[in-house]
Amino acid sequence: MARVLVVDDERSMREYLEILLRKMGHVATTVADCGSALRLAENQEFDLVLSDLRIGKESGIEVLRAFKTAQPDTEVVMITAFATMENAIEAMKLGAYDYVTKPFKNEELWLIVQKALEKHQLQRENESLRIQLSSRGRVAGMVGDSAAMKEVYSLIEKVAQSRTTVLVVGESGVGKELVARAVHSKGPRATGPFVPINCGAIPEGLVESELFGHVRGAFTGATVDRPGLFKAAGGGTIFLDEVGELPLPTQVKLLRAIQDRRVKPVGGNRDIEVDARIIAATNRDLAEEVKEGRFREDLYYRLNVIQVFVPPLRRRREDILPLAEHFIAVHSSEKGCAHLSMSKEASSYLQSYDWPGNVRELENAIERAVTLTEGAIIQPDMLPPQIRGVQPVPEGEVTLPPGGIDLQAYLDALERRFLQMALVRAGGVKKEAAKLLGLTFRSMRYRLAKQGLSSPRSNDGDDGDE
Ligand SMILES: Nc1ncnc2c1ncn2[C@@H]1O[C@H](COP(=O)(O)OP(=O)(O)OP(=O)(O)O)[C@@H](O)[C@H]1O
Ligand SMILES: [Mg+2]
């Protein structure tokens, strides 16, 4: 059963088509003018449109255009009198599936409708197949198809269905919280709350009441009963971020919460039941913390039932550029600017850098570059200096004289030196010199002019702008 729109100003034709379509088992909507059809194009989905080419004084081409814009997958078949044959051909060019010439036989129209709908169906199936394929092994919101991340995705799928405690480990900024959210949202608790808590960010004296709640009068300032985050995460997931930072006494209580699914609010004498799934994360080596006596061994084993290790970005370099692309898209649209692209050189800097701050550092670098870039292409000089291999100035290499310095004059002098050295090494070719300094050609030219280093007649190998 397909949804078909009939557009014709002739009433008899509308009625005839409606009957025919109903006989074929489809649902027909009929309208008599172009305006109504255009409104429907915006508001209602159809699988097929049958439109007269001449609707009173208006043209069926408008209907075709509207549908190809608003519902590109909808097939449009034009009905035409011999006199409008030329328009029929134009319609085909604009994406109509086919046309029938009046007068036509029932079977003729029947066949065209059948074929158009088959094509439509096939397209749909392809589309859903494509979406399935591209998302296979992917987790919503997570970018990167490296083998290492695929393993992470499949582990997420596996653990999401259960309520097993999961420990997410990995360096800072690798995406541990994102993994925790994915485990939550892929599982049966997705409609419940996801309650994140950064165990390292809460003052030691307050952690317990934050997690397990407190009763009125438990301590100064506790003027009302508070349920605590474990309770708040009921039916959902509590995410204990930086779990390695938990004070030892709180660790004991957490252990109990996991074992007995009960917690005792601070100052209370009655246990309350909790039903939150627990996901914990840490960038510390918890086994090592256990050895050092900073983390309880029993709690470690309780949390570490299933471990998801998110590898550092430098161990999955093939994810760098797709992630960069993703962040360019995110931040360009956030800033309402056009979608930028990345120059080859900038890309190669990104790929060879080690990313100690992992995905978060990459995201920050891209966000900064998107903000700074004025043209359409992100050039290397828009990337943070450390990514371009600029070493921090070593201790002792420069000194601040007792009387201080004129920083700007000093930097100008330094810039002048570098510009000269680069020009000499590049044999005077500005474009090459710019590369040595990680500058765009335009920026190089500007700096040379500012420093009074550009030759009056630019005849030195730079063939125009970048
Ligand atoms: N695979 C990914 N795809 C898209 N965005 C990602 C991915 N991994 C991380 N991010 C983004 O990078 C940033 C850091 O991720 P997240 O906060 O999950 O890291 P983390 O491991 O919890 O870091 P920390 O240890 O510092 O808390 C977030 O903005 C997150 O959305
Ligand atoms: Mg985090």
Q: What is the pLDDT of residue 227?
A: 87
CA 443 to chain CA centroid, nearest Å: 32
Residue, of 400 and 324, whose pLDDT is higher: 324
CA 61 to chain CA centroid, nearest Å: 38
Q: Residue 153 above 60 pLDDT?
A: yes
Contact, 195 vs 308, CB < 8 A? no
- Tally: H helices and E strands in the chain: 18, 16
Q: Residue 463 above 60 pLDDT?
A: no
Residue, of 204 and 188, whose pLDDT is higher: 188
- Ligand 1 within 6 A of 359 CB? yes
Q: What is the pLDDT of residue 168?
A: 98
User: Nearest-CA neighbor of 91 among 112, 67, 122, 108?
Assistant: 67
Q: Which atom of ligand 1 is nearest to the CA of 359?
A: 12
CA 358 to centroid of ligand 1, rounded, Å: 8
Q: Residue 461 above 60 pLDDT?
A: no
Q: Residue 140 above 90 pLDDT?
A: no
Protein residue with its CA nearest to atom 13 in ligand 1 = 360
Protein residue with its CA nearest to atom 16 in ligand 1 = 175
Q: Residue 135 above 50 pLDDT?
A: no
The ligand that comes nearest to the alpha carbon of residue 152 is 1
Q: What is the pLDDT of residue 131?
A: 52
Give the Cα separation of 412 and 418 in Å (integer): 10
Residue, of 366 and 397, whose pLDDT is higher: 366
Contact, 296 vs 252, CB < 8 A? yes
Contact, 102 vs 79, CB < 8 A? yes
Q: Residue 33 above 50 pLDDT?
A: yes
Would you call 375 helix, strand, or coil by DSSP? Answer: coil
Average per-residue pLDDT for the chain: 88
Q: What is the pLDDT of residue 375?
A: 80
Residue, of 132 and 120, whose pLDDT is higher: 120
Give the Cα separation of 284 and 81 in Å (integer): 77
Q: What is the pLDDT of residue 136?
A: 47
Q: How confident is the model at residue 464 (pLDDT cuts 50, 70, 90)?
A: very low
Three-state secondary structure of 137-178: CCCCCCCCCCHHHHHHHHHHHHHHCCCCCEEEECCCCCCHHH
Q: Which atom of ligand 1 is nearest to the CA of 181?
A: 18
User: Nearest-CA neighbor of 4 among 46, 34, 60?
Assistant: 46
**pLDDT tens per residue, range 326-366:** 999 888 877 777 778 898 889 999 999 999 999 999 999 99
CA 377 to centroid of ligand 1, rounded, Å: 25
User: Six-digit token pair at 54?
Assistant: 């001449």
Q: What is the pLDDT of residue 465?
A: 42
Residues around the ion ligand 2 (C-beta < 5 A): 177
Beta bridge partners of 372: none
- Ligand 1 within 6 A of 363 CB? yes
Q: What is the pLDDT of residue 439?
A: 84
For a substitution probing ligand 1, which of 359, 362, 364 has the most ligand atoms within 8 Å of its CB?
A: 359
Average pLDDT over residues 80-104: 86
Q: Residue 84 above 80 pLDDT?
A: no
CA 229 to centroid of ligand 1, rounded, Å: 23
- Ligand 1 within 6 A of 228 CB? no
Contact, 306 vs 159, CB < 8 A? yes
User: Nearest-CA neighbor of 281 among 113, 169, 191?
Assistant: 169
Average pLDDT over residues 254-260: 91
**pLDDT tens per residue, range 197-217:** 999 888 888 888 999 999 888
Q: How confident is the model at residue 3 (pLDDT cuts 50, 70, 90)?
A: very high
Residue ranges of domains in the chain, CATH in brackets: 3-132 (3.40.50.2300), 147-309 (3.40.50.300), 314-388 (1.10.8.60), 407-450 (1.10.10)
Q: Residue 127 above 80 pLDDT?
A: no
Average pLDDT over residues 38-45: 87
Give the Cα separation of 420 and 433 in Å (integer): 9
Q: How confident is the model at residue 462 (pLDDT cuts 50, 70, 90)?
A: very low
Cα torsion 217, 220, 222, 227 to 10°: value is -90
For a substitution probing ligand 1, which of 285, 360, 366, 367 has the most ligand atoms within 8 Å of its CB?
A: 360
Average pLDDT over residues 82-96: 84
